């Protein structure tokens, strides 16, 4: 199997990181191409004449080394999948009293993270949330389980109204 070669995005990232490494390092004698290729060859333990000669894995390893050396935060590797129009509409309307959907969508990790952010803003823990949900006037009428997107939306909207942030009060009042 032939190893994949470096991608243009990896090459650009590697060049940018190496330039930053040169500026901040006392080890680099000069900004010469030979010094850069010598460094890359030493790191991957084989001779390279250009960054274009690197494989996908070698480029990834060099980028990780440079980011670790510079203390650069690793960019998120997960790409957000675009939402379909139908899913976007359901995310915004499921759980509203005036909206009836033929099927219910199960709650996902994104919605649970959204509720957790709301809890963090309020300074609540899980037991306080369950007490709030168990009350007969709670957003899910006494149910403490969060099963559907509608449940998650109702809880999010209720917690959002409780948020002590003054900017949030202005938005909900209008």
- Residue 133: count other Cβ atoms within 10 Å of its Cβ: 20
**Does the reported pTM lie above 0.75?**
no
- The CA-atom distances, in angstroms, between 73 and each of 60, 69, 151, 169 are 15, 11, 35, 35
Strand partners, 49: none
- List average pLDDT for each run of 10 residues in the chain, which is 174 residues long: 85 91 72 86 93 92 90 71 80 75 81 91 91 89 87 90 66 52
- Nearest to 160, CA basis, from 109, 126, 124: 124
Cα–Cα distance between 113 and 167 in angstroms, integer? 22
């Amino acid at each position: 199997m032939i190893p994949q070669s470096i991608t243009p995005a990896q090459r650009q990232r590697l060049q940018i990181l190496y330039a930053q490494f040169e500026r901040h390092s006392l080890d680099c004698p000069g900004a010469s191409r030979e010094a850069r290729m010598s460094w890359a060859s030493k790191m991957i333990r084989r001779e390279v004449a250009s960054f274009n000669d690197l494989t996908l894995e070698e480029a990834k390893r060099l980028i990780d080394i440079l980011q670790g050396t510079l203390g650069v935060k690793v960019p998120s590797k997960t790409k957000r999948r675009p939402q379909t129009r139908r899913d976007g509409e359901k995310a915004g309307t499921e759980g509203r009293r005036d909206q009836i959907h033929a099927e219910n969508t199960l709650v996902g990790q994104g919605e649970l993270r959204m509720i957790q952010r709301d809890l963090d803003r309020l300074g609540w823990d899980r037991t306080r949330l369950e007490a709030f949900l168990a009350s007969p006037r709670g957003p899910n009428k006494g149910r403490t389980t969060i099963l559907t997107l509608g449940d998650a939306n109702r809880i999010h909207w209720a917690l959002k109204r409780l948020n002590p942030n003054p900017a949030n009060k202005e938005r909900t009042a209008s």
